Chain A
Amino acid sequence: MRLAVIAAAMAATVLTGCATEQKAPPARFNRDPYPTTYRVYPGVPTLLKGATVLDGAGGRIDGGDVLIADGKVQAIGRGLSAPVGAVVVDASGKYVTPGVIDIHSHLGNYPSPGVQAHDDGNEATAPARPEVWAEHSVWPQDPGFSRALANGGVTTLQVLPGSANLFGGRSVTLKNVPARTAMGMKFPGAPYGLKMACGENPKRVYGSKGQIPSTRMGNIAVTRQTWLQAQAYKRKWDNYEAKGGDAPDRDLAMDTLRGVLAGDILVQNHCYRADEMAIMIDLAREMGYKISAFHHAVESYKIADLLQREGICSAMWADWYGFKMESYDAIRENVALVDKAGACAIVHSDDPNGIQRLYQEAGKAIAAGRRAGVPISEEHAWTWLSANPAKAMGIFDRTGSLAPGKMADVVLWNGNPFSTYTRPERVWIDGALMYDANNPRLRPVSDFELGQPGEGDVK
């Protein structure tokens, strides 16, 4: 038992004035020991006028206006009038969307330059490492963040541990605003995610060390055994937090898994193959948790009906394939076919280059779908980049669409935002203008690039 907890328990005993040998009342430990220090930068009330507005939740307004002020979306519609002192931007011929949300990134924990000293994404020392937290690896000076902002219009991203482990650890959701610390980028109030993995990676990493898991069945066995441990831990702690008494020992790994079983932490499950996804769905039901999204779900199209029934999102690429055995069956219609089945489709990157072109990847997915006879509107396709990832990350009540009252995470695009010919012109995060293509001063430069060739250049 931690001293602090003992002290708290003793203090509680004294305060209640109990002299008898009664159970100590429960003490709740701090669930948020590394709280966000993110600050919203000042913004100017801004009215974007006459744009094609894709609201991110499936709505579209041609010749539409978006008003942002006080860090929030204030109004969206036609013919909005500008408040006194507001900046008015003529957005005719351009598109306005909510910022792109990447549900799968390793910016910060596999940063550039990709040297061994920066290799902070996989705690590949045991197959179950739910005790590690990605935020403790994130290097906020990764130059990749600025590219994702300026070239990709990315305003929010989830940084995950890697997939060497069955349980990779906790993810962290960041606002793409430069800060001196990872805590300074943490999305206020975003739930944690738990990175899990099936398939080739865990069995390869540990099989090559001569330990379990070395097979897919080994993967599942270790995963199940770990959840059984978590259930026992949860029983103990739930009991203590309800009734008090001697506080059980804390275990960081089990804290995370207990958070999942309690529904506070969202499972983000790296899983390529359809048959393995189906096993993970059974496993989640057996152990009493829900999978929020399958990541790299290249075979979701084979079980889109199942994923629809289970309400599980698929985070997918447009055309990446064949880099490993479990990606051999990737097809270009994957996103469209998942979407067509009524399941939740997300376009993700997992890559510091890909994150700069997620909007173009969505464009490719639309094109492949339409060729296969799946009608997909632009306004619907933008849900793959904002509403759906926001839902799967538990932040849709705050961002992911241009609804009044939501965070003003907004991109003004200089053309159709699914085209290779289009780039962000301006990006606002919480109503603050963080990138403006026409203003070289509004281009963040990481500490790493300061004083180096190409500092402050367009990238």
Chain B
Amino acid sequence: MSRALVLAALLLGGAVPASAETIAIVRGTVAIGDGSAPIPNGTVVVRDGRVVAAGTGVAVPAGARVIDAAGKWVTPGIVAGFSRLGLSDVDAVDSATDISSDGPFSAALDIAPAINPNAQPVAVNRADGVTRAIVAPGVGKSIFAGQGALIDTAVHASAITRARLFQYVELGETGAEQAGGSRAAAHVLLRNALREAAEVGRGVTIAGSGTERNPLDPDNQPVVRNPNESRLYDSRRSQDVLLTRFDAAALVPVVQGRQILMIHAERAADIRQVIALGREFPRLKLVLVGADEGWTVAAELAQSGIPVIASAMSDLPSGFESIAATQSNIGRMRAAGVKVAIGTINDDDTRMAFRARNYAGNLVALTRVPGAAGLSWGEALAMVTSRPAEAVGLGSEIGSLQAGRRGDVVIWSADPLDNMAAAETVLIDGVEQPLVTRQTRLRDRYQDLTPGVLPPAYRR
């Protein structure tokens, strides 16, 4: 489908672009996204919305649409490792922003229904090669922000790839503030919430030392996928509860280890508490977000196996939880064996995920700064493609050009980690996406200021 047609479809009310075709991208510099070095003169084949093969010696299937990428770079789409993409049109406009809630619920909040696939930031990031985003809610009146999702940035009715992928919790300065002014209170709130969830999930032990009841008893395997559909609201609860029934039910998958518990902490001591939490509750599937001081506890983090999504460029003591922040944080954690990915944590996270690839390029730059720890080019690309996908357990689904992954592919005008490159073709699930945005339309309208026979408002 031509771009004009795609645009026409867009203008006709958000119609879905062409269905997935068989596409072969040939002669480009291909980077798989798994940490390996780029491959010159490679081929990428996408069929039925999935990657069939990528690399050298890949045959072009008969009937495939062939895109010549000579002189260009081909990579998996950028995965925003931590974002609020789709939750806001304009940050400072409350009515256009759905990041957090001061209402009665916390853990039960599910951001999936709040995602707006037509939000301009989605289009702007799509046009810059961001194809998927891990989207977290923000906290309102609790340490629990609610349940985040994985979304795509394609032009279609629903952006949700995985709803309720994780529960998001604040345990650092923000968590302390939410809990009433102390980290100690945040930790008690967290443990109490896990206890209440366990009670709702009757018989489900959350402590490693607990006794399992008959695991074949369906009552001992309650599956809460969506608190709105929960069959557990009528389960017995003690009088001694803080959480609403909805919130407690939403945490059942967390205590059962079926839903990721994503925890934001920056300070070394806070990170150690997260590691300790993992030992105390071995069933929890933990992911650490932030970790400005992670490099100071890198060996412990590596041993814990907890994946980390960190800000690449955070190097200021912006608060008392980030005193040791340095741009070498990710490189050092990586060298110590920590599973690390790049995210834009509290860094224009509603809109600027496209900067992640330049941040990754900056980590390559650090390899030439004495005393700093950087990344190889291949590893830097992985930090914004496969590593975030792996952190949330979806590495076999998105984030690389390995066979079987979703067909999220970007053709760049040049090396995508440098800032001269632009996305020229973007496939999501094997479907070519329009790259027109309000920004490109405004550019076209005002590029020539010569007075015309009609005002600029007629130029479109």
Contact surface of A with B, Cβ cutoff 8 Å = 112-115, 143-144, 147, 151, 200, 301-305, 319-325, 328-333, 337, 341, 352-353, 356-357, 360, 363-364, 366-367, 371-372, 414-415, 418-423, 437-438, 440, 448-449, 452-454, 457-459
Contacts and interface: CB of A to CB of B under 8 A. Distances in A.
A325 B351 CA distance: 14
A420 B417 contact: yes
Q: Is the contact region of chain A dominated by helix, strand, or loop, or is it mixed?
A: loop
B267 to A, nearest CB: 10
Interface centre among B322, B323, B413 (most CB of A within 10 A): B323
A337 B446 contact: yes
B315 A147 contact: yes
Given A329-B442, A332-B439, A333-B443, A143 B358 contact: no
Contacts of A371: 413, 422
8 contacts: A341-B449, A352-B316, A356-B313, A357-B313, A363-B420, A367-B419, A421-B361, A454-B296
A44 B446 CA distance: 50
Contacts of B365: 420-423
B449 A323 contact: no
Nearest to A370: B420
A336 B295 CA distance: 40
B238 interface: no
A423 B438 CA distance: 34
A88 to B, nearest CB: 21
Interface string B86-99: 00011111000000
Contacts of A303: 449
B324 A414 contact: no
Nearest to A457: B326
Contacts of B158: none
Interface residues of B, number: 60
Interface stretch (B102-110, B210-218, B369-377): B369-377
B310 interface: no
B93 A325 contact: yes
A322 B372 contact: no
Interface string B358-395: 10011011101111100000000000000000000000
A437 B369 contact: yes
A113 B361 contact: no
A452 B372 contact: no
Nearest to A420: B361
A36 to B, nearest CB: 27
A386 to B, nearest CB: 19
Q: Is the contact region of chain B dominated by helix, strand, or loop, or is it mixed?
A: loop
A337 B443 CA distance: 9
Nearest to A302: B446
A330 B352 contact: no
Contacts of A301: 442-443, 446
B293 interface: yes
A-B CB proximity, top 8 nearest: A420-B361, A454-B324, A324-B92, A453-B324, A458-B372, A459-B315, A112-B316, A367-B420
A324 B422 CA distance: 25
Contact of A322 (B89, B293, B327, B456): B89
B219 interface: no
B442 A113 contact: no
A459 B319 CA distance: 15
A322 B418 contact: no
Contact of A372 (B350, B368, B443): B443
Interface in B199-228: none
Given A325-B92, A367-B420, A423 B319 contact: no
A322 B120 contact: yes
A340 B440 CA distance: 17
Given A329-B438, A364-B358, A449-B317, 8 more contacts: A112-B317, A302-B446, A322-B350, A357-B313, A366-B420, A418-B419, A419-B361, A454-B323
